């Protein structure tokens, strides 16, 4: 697909972020999609540790990714946790997701972020297949969640 633009978005891109976040929820089949209010989005998009890339073609949002920079306590570099990568169903399997990973990897190279990592649920075969196809090293881990409410 031509005319694809991948760019990091910031506080001036609230409308674009809103469209992206709704697409991500659609891709992940969220039953009742919602997006936070403008004040929260501004705070989020202003936070340098929140990394958000969007993919557009002809000013239409096709997908994107969100990630978080995690500063390390034992060294001066950071790691990056990829939270979501999603491309609208009409544009999947065109290499856009791989381009997003490559864009984030380049961002990390230039911002003293040494490692990127992501989780995929074992039952999500599509996600596992995708991440394997991007050249990542795979590890088996046990993930624990704490409910803080």
User: pLDDT (tens digit, 9 = 90+) per residue, 48-77?
Assistant: 999 999 999 998 999 999 999 999 999 999
The CA angle 41-53-66, to the nearest 5 degrees, is 65
- Quick check: 141 and 121 in contact, CB under 8 A? no
Rounded Cα distance, 6 and 99, in Å: 8
Q: Does 87 have pLDDT greater than 80? A: yes
CATH superfamily of 4-133: Gcn5-related N-acetyltransferase (GNAT) (3.40.630.30)
**According to DSSP H, which parts of 11-124 are helical?**
14-27, 38-46, 96-110
Predicted TM-score (pTM) of the model is 0.91
Residue, of 147 and 108, whose pLDDT is higher: 108
Neighbours of 46 (CB within 10 A): 11
97: β partners: none
Rounded Cα distance, 69 and 105, in Å: 12
pLDDT value of residue 130:
87
User: pLDDT (tens digit, 9 = 90+) per residue, 1-60?
Assistant: 568 999 999 999 999 999 999 999 999 989 999 999 999 999 999 999 999 999 999 989
What spatial distance separates the first Cα and last Cα of the chain, rounded to whole Å?
A: 44
- The domain limits of the chain are 4-133
């Amino acid at each position: 697909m031509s005319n694809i633009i991948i760019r990091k978005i910031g506080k001036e891109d609230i409308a674009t972020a809103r469209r992206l976040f709704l697409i991500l929820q659609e891709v992940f089949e969220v039953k009742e999609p919602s997006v936070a209010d403008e004040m929260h989005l501004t705070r989020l998009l202003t936070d340098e540790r929140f990394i958000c890339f969007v993919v557009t073609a002809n000013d239409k949002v096709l997908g994107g990714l969100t990630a978080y920079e995690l500063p390390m306590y034992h060294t001066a570099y950071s790691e990056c946790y990829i939270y979501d990568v999603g491309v609208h169903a009409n544009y999947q399997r065109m290499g856009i997701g791989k381009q997003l990973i490559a864009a984030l990897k380049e961002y990390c190279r230039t911002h003293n972020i040494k490692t990127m990592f992501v989780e995929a649920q074992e039952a999500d075969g599509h996600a596992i297949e995708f991440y394997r196809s991007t050249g990542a090293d795979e590890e088996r881990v046990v993930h624990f969640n704490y409910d803080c409410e």
